[in-house]
Structure 1
Amino acid sequence: MRIYFYIALLNFVFSLAQNNLQTPFEKGNGNQSTTYEECINYYQNLEHQFETIQIREMGLTDCGESLHIVCFSKDKNFDFNSEKAVVLINNGIHPGEPDGIDATMMLMRDLATAKIKVPEHTIVVAIPVYNIGGMLNRNSHSRANQNGPEEYGFRGNARNYDLNRDFIKSDSRNSRSFQEIFHQVNPDMFIDNHVSNGADYQYTFTCIATQHQRLGGALGTFYKEEMHPAIMAQLKKKKIESVPYVNIHGDMPDNGFAQFMDTPRYATGYTTLFNTLGSVPETHMLKPFKERVAVTYQYMVETIQYVDENRQKIKKLREDNLTNYKAGKEYPLQWQLDSTKVSSIEFKGYKGGYKPSAVSGNDRLYYDRKQPFTKEIPFYADYKGTKTIIIPRFYIVPQSQWPVVELLKLNGIKMQPLAEDTEIEVESYSITSFETSKYPYEGHYGHYNTTVTSKAEKLKFRKGDFMIDTQQKGVKFLLETLEPEAVDSYFNWNFFDPILQQKEYFSAYVFEDLAKDLLDSDPELKEEFEAKKKVDEKFAASGSAQLDWVYTHSDYYEKAHRHYPVYRIK
């Protein structure tokens, strides 16, 4: 009898332990997501019970709470600089899309308990909740189009930034702390878990695989043609159908769609700059929360397993990819969809159409779930470079541009301060033209369609100004931030706006006589001036425009106006 008592007692204790390891999601009704406090407490408990789990407190966020990372390593070796592969998982960048938060809690537990196949040579790192301020702003209504959970967080962070637009400008503490984590961890694969908006279709799981051409070279080809298809094939074996992220809003996908171009403002666009493979799982908003969590979990399992089995190849491709960005080579700054390159994919959708709105009376889009279909549709996965530059050997950034210098250093960019005042022959830019958004976007009135002219000149730089060698790991980061014409350049994000405003002007009644002397003493200038009056009626009719023209073509015109204060050495 005593032996049966002990067996019963052990079973009871085991049952209590197992229940203790259930996540809040598992304890609920399938439509409830963990709170922030529950999430962190759960990981702390997991660390207490398993030596293969570590939780670390990292940098601050805008709401005052610190980011955490949770790490799993089978052999308890958490050295990110070892030969192990590293997979970094980011959750809750949009806390109203909490699928990854709950799925990752189960994933880490199942790794610790060996419930699933444990990676032998891979450290799994997760940011439990990236947008902590947004998760603390818990509600039930901000995701009007989403089918569960019952409560969730808000998209904006504590300062109302969308953090998935902040990976270059880094206005938030969250972004700056993420960058510290990213460079410390140096992941081979990055996963940023999301829930989609947009069209209706049969799939629970869609995915953005980072744009292979921006990833570059053999690494991009490998990801597009080998790694991503292999992971999707494994999901299919588990009866999880998938399709590329359906980048359609306010229309039907029947006529095909293009791969999402993740520029550096986005999570995977940023990680790509450091040759890290990246994906954005996008579960479908209208599918039940329980199903969305399940497929997110399975995607992470298959991705970790693939990385573990192919770690050496991935690491070699990442290292070799740097050779594509040597000084003197071309680099595309701007991209355009290549409509001449089209493939065909199977798509499982619902018949859509238009009918009168019960609200407005106008035509409204609808999908009929009673009429599912499967058919081949066009898919556009390729882009072509529309603006390229030649990669310089060095950049020079004056120490006066300290906000830029700080962000470069934060992102692991190595730079050498000049030891003394030095005259250097450089290529300098002038901002020729740009357009500016009429509406605020993530705290900025950003620029776009920027163009520059360049010239060679000798300039004197001060002791302490920074010389930056492009032949380093962050070369693509340098090109995407310091070249003004790049889509997410620091110029386009307003870091250099003071150069766009003149600081000195002229009084017309004084400058009139000087302008005449300037024209009389420079025949070529006068010829150009008279020619412009003949072809430009507005100019010919405006005395102030003519005076301003002479002023801007004279030595009196300030050199700093529209002069871009970052320099290239070929």
Structure 2
Amino acid sequence: MRLFTFLFLLLSISTFAQKTNKYDTFFEKGNGNQSASYPETIAYYKLLADDFPTIEMQKMGLTDSGEPLHMVIFNPEKQFDFGNIQKNKAVILLNNAIHAGEPDGIDASMQLFRDLALGKIKAPKNTVIVCIPVYNIGGALNRNSTSRANQDGPEIYGFRGNARNYDLNRDFIKSDTRNTKSFVEIFHKINADVFIDNHVSNGSDYQYKLTYIMTQHNKLGTVLGDFLNTEMMPALIQDLQKKNIENTPYVNAFQDTPDKGFGQFFESPRFATGYTSLFNTIGFVVETHMLKKYADRVKVTYEYMRSAIDFTDTNYKKIKQLRLKNEEQYQPKKSYTIKWEIDSTKTVPFSFLGYEASYKKSDVTSGNRLFYDRTKPFKKDIPYSKEFKSTKEIIIPKAYIIPKGFWPVIELLKSNTITYSQLKNDTIIEVESYRIADFKTTNSAYEGHYLHRNTSVTSKMEKVAFAKGDYIIPTQQKGIKYLLETLEPEAIDSFFNWNFFDTMLQQKEGYSDYVFEDSATHILKENPKLKAEFDLKKQSDVNFINNPEAQLDWIYKQSVYYEKAHLQYPVYRILK
């Protein structure tokens, strides 16, 4: 009898071990320095989805690689309709390999979903977890061992650029790639309450394995931003420290060593968490340190996600309530900040774990090189700046009007679930109208564009004729911040700055000097006030008086012959 019992127990243990081994990930089967390929990752999630009713994998839209984006969902209640899920549960979205040379999240997320399905870790009761296994599929298929020159492992990884060589973490406003379009579909389908984007850092050397970026709380909004800054982030830090994982804000010190202090990274809407914050989603970027062993980086990524899930599950009602309340602070006639800068007067001491740094003569170049001495670790307080202040505000309009001809912009608004109506008849409406006064443009290509910056406008109230079918976009809707950040031309990641309206910057008609000379004479003769302005400009502007071409051009641009479309921003603001 004892022999039978012993054999039965041995068989049970063996059977359990076989089942457990079945779900070992590629990373776990390897030497700790190997990461799963894209096909291996998708095959693994298919295995989990086939074997566990708590996991479902869905094919979503295409990416630039030609492969579809996948969405993997864990719900212990085995229900995957997000219309119902959002009524009483929080949703966390995990995004992996936006830069495919940074695969830590790929391997950590596979373990996380497996452990949740097997019951190795406690499943959340109030939170559904959604994962994009590999976001940059084209980059993941471009596997190599050399493109991350400063990174310690894994042995083989993907490439930063996608199938068309876009950096996907700069594409969330301009949406040049299919990847972004498919991400937007997923994001709005699930209405994520919390978003985590898994990365690997570069830059300085220090003792930490884990750094993080939280959505900049000032721009997130007073209600949700205060909660993130004073409750959620401190709780995550404390929970990680209980696991013996020391962590630091992303070490945003590229021009100097971090022991002198640094400021919070500001993720404008072109970045993933900058984009998701426009819809009142709390966002985090996990940035493991490139010089730490791959196995350690995977572990801390796993633990960060667990800590975020646990906090969200405990506080799901409050998070969902605060998201709704955060929307309420953005109302027509109120001000909204479209430009921020770090407030250097508000720093806090931060106990930083670093290495002493110095410069020594380079063995390669004729100069000196920076050197971090790992035999000399230190712990000391440094100044950290995480507060930002407003430098440019606008008054929120009641609505925007966009002529129907600007369909690329309209399509992006539609994909971001922006509500609208269309004029049923040709109509004259009093609006605030912008003209582009000035802007600067990059000298070299940046992510498929020649990006504008330092844009400024002049404005005036006028009655404008609009056509049947033109779009009226009310600001009182969930996507109000998305509208303000994209349609206000002076905002850093506006559609204007991303070249959507560049056709308005070029004159389509002109004049021949010898013909227009006679017209200019007549114009000045018939307009004494204009002639007085012209004479004053000649007296006060030395460059102008010595430039006959500029003088004639000035008269032309004050005349009825000058085309109204030139420098006219074609998005109008309804204030009343």
For Structure 1 versus Structure 2, the TM-score category normalised by the shorter chain is over 0.9
Counterpart in 1 of 2:32?
30
What per-residue deviation string (whole Å, max 9, x for no partner) do you get for residues 8-42 of structure 1? 33333222211110000000000000011110000
Counterpart in 1 of 2:377?
372
Counterpart in 2 of 1:544?
549
Q: Partner letter of residue 532 of structure 2? A: E
What per-residue deviation string (whole Å, max 9, x for no partner) do you get for residues 26-82 of structure 1? 000000000111100000000111100000000000010000011000111223233
Give the Cα–Cα distance (whole angstroms) in 2 for the partners of residues 258 and 219 of structure 1.
21
By how many angstroms is 1:544 displaced? 1.0
State whether residues 80 and 86 of structure 1, in contact with CA within 8 Å, keep that contact through their aligned partners in structure 2.
no
Counterpart in 2 of 1:49?
51
Q: Any residues of structure 2 matched to 1:61-100 within 5 Å, and which? A: 61-81=63-83, 82-100=87-105
Counterpart in 1 of 2:324?
319
Q: Partner letter of residue 68 of structure 2? A: S
State whether residues 423 and 461 of structure 1, in contact with CA within 8 Å, keep that contact through their aligned partners in structure 2.
yes
Counterpart in 1 of 2:514?
509
State whether residues 53 and 71 of structure 1, in contact with CA within 8 Å, keep that contact through their aligned partners in structure 2.
yes
2:406 to 396, 401, 406: 401
Counterpart in 2 of 1:556?
561
1:390 aligns with 2:395: yes
2:446 to 441, 455, 474: 441
Secondary structure of 1:180's counterpart equals helix
Counterpart in 1 of 2:224?
219
Secondary structure of 2:130's counterpart equals strand
Q: Partner letter of residue 273 of structure 1? A: L
Give the alignment's TM-score, normalised by structure 2.
0.98
Counterpart in 2 of 1:60?
62
Give the Cα–Cα distance (whole angstroms) in 2 for the partners of residues 480 and 200 of structure 1.
35
What per-residue deviation string (whole Å, max 9, x for no partner) do you get for residues 159-214 of structure 1? 00000000000000000000000000101100000000000000000000110011
Q: Any residues of structure 2 matched to 1:347-496 within 5 Å, and which? A: 347-496=352-501
Q: Partner letter of residue 440 of structure 2? A: E
Q: Partner letter of residue 112 of structure 1? A: A
By how many angstroms is 1:462 displaced? 1.1
By how many angstroms is 1:460 displaced? 1.4
Secondary structure of 1:358's counterpart equals coil
Give the alignment's TM-score, normalised by structure 1.
0.99
What per-residue deviation string (whole Å, max 9, x for no partner) do you get for residues 439-491 of structure 1? 11101110000000011111111111110110000000000000000000000
Give the Cα–Cα distance (whole angstroms) in 1 for the partners of residues 5 and 123 of structure 2.
34
Counterpart in 2 of 1:11?
13
Return closer, same or farther for 1:108/1:11 CA change in 2, 3 Å cut-off. Answer: same
By how many angstroms is 1:250 displaced? 4.4
Give the Cα–Cα distance (whole angstroms) in 2 for the partners of residues 295 and 545 of structure 1.
63
Q: Partner letter of residue 208 of structure 1? A: I
Give the Cα–Cα distance (whole angstroms) in 2 for the partners of residues 431 and 250 of structure 1.
34
Q: Partner letter of residue 318 of structure 2? A: K
2:284 to 279, 282, 294: 279
Give the Cα–Cα distance (whole angstroms) in 2 for the partners of residues 345 and 83 of structure 1.
38
State whether residues 533 and 539 of structure 1, in contact with CA within 8 Å, keep that contact through their aligned partners in structure 2.
yes
Secondary structure of 2:203's counterpart equals coil
Counterpart in 2 of 1:334?
339
Secondary structure of 2:440's counterpart equals strand
Counterpart in 2 of 1:180?
185
Secondary structure of 1:424's counterpart equals strand
TM-align CA RMSD: 0.9
Q: Partner letter of residue 481 of structure 2? A: K
State whether residues 250 and 365 of structure 1, in contact with CA within 8 Å, keep that contact through their aligned partners in structure 2.
no
Give the Cα–Cα distance (whole angstroms) in 1 for the partners of residues 479 and 454 of structure 2.
25
Aligned length: 570
By how many angstroms is 1:430 displaced? 0.3
1:204 aligns with 2:209: yes
Give the Cα–Cα distance (whole angstroms) in 1 for the partners of residues 16 and 313 of structure 2.
31
**Identical-residue share of aligned pairs (%):** 59
Q: Partner letter of residue 56 of structure 1? A: Q
Give the Cα–Cα distance (whole angstroms) in 1 for the partners of residues 213 and 366 of structure 2.
36
Q: Structure 2: which 5+ runs fail to align?
A: none
Give the Cα–Cα distance (whole angstroms) in 1 for the partners of residues 353 and 15 of structure 2.
47
